[in-house]
Amino acid sequence: MYCSPSHAKYVKKGTCYSDNELKTIADEINMIEKHNVIPKRSKKTRENIQKYFAKQCSDKEYCWLNQLSYTTRQKLESAFRPRKPSSWYKNRKTWLNTDDINFVMIQYQHLYKDYQFLGVHPIDFAKRYNGYCIGNNLCDFNITSQLASKKYRFGLVLNLDKHDEPGSHWVALYCNLNPRKKNFGVYYYDSVAMEPGVEVKSFMDKICAQVKQVYHPKVASRFSRKYNTIQRQFKNTECGMFCLVFQTQCMKNIDFDEICQRMKYDDDVNKIRDVLFSPR
């Protein structure tokens, strides 16, 4: 059904939409038709909407968005996974770009209230250029602000090229500051299993040092710092997908080593595009 992470809870009702969202769709249809084609307060609102759009959409809910006004579509598109870029229909192995990654990860913030996606950045994310931090707030990153806002978990995706270079390879970093969770620590994932460069190591050093300042020594001693050592990518196109799969698995509080052991290879990860993205 391609429900977004926060709307998957409605699947048991046979839909990706909340009751209020279904009402919004019904109201627009009734306004267009100038009479109540979709009866108000009906227990069959979804079924009636599906019948109304059957010719254009068959039983595909995500298609309803294409039939609605721009304003309504903007309100409701968060019910579904991000749409696949049109270029993927010509080549489903097209590299993921910054927007592709952002659109997927931002949706998880609505499902996990203690998670924050810190963005997609070049490898020189912690440096300043013309007086500005290349990685927004990452130059002065401090876990104290994360804890104060109850964002105990955070992640980011990095490109190994610098900000003025074209882009080469995606890698991911995930951190869990909740000592009650099994993946309490900071973790780096590279699908070709290369160790992190100096920029990432420095950022991880900063996080580990701050953990020692904030937590009791016994707690801080349990804070893990790990890199994956198993290469899963052997082709040229799926590094971005490996990053997305890694982040989403971490959010389930699965142990880092278990994630690395269970990670699939290129072709299987490519198929997950059909899970994390919806059709156009």
Per-residue pLDDT tens over the stretch 5-54: 999 999 999 999 999 999 999 999 999 987 778 987 778 999 999 999 99
Number of domains in the chain: 2
Torsion sign, CA atoms 127, 130, 133, 135: negative
The contacts of residue 257 (CB under 8 Å, 6+ apart) are: 226
Q: Which domain holds residue 29?
A: 5-79
**Among candidate residues 25, 48, 79, the one where a domain is terminated:** 79
* Residues 101, 235 within the same domain: yes
* Residues 32, 151 within the same domain: no
* Residues 143, 160 within the same domain: yes
| End-to-end Cα spacing for the chain | 13
- 199-253 pLDDT, tens digit each: 999 999 999 999 999 999 999 999 999 999 999 999 999 999 999 999 999 999 9
Which residues partner with 95 through β-bridges? none
* Residues 91, 188 within the same domain: yes
- 224: three-class secondary structure by DSSP: strand
* Residues 157, 196 within the same domain: yes
Instruction: DSSP letter for 116, please.
Output: E
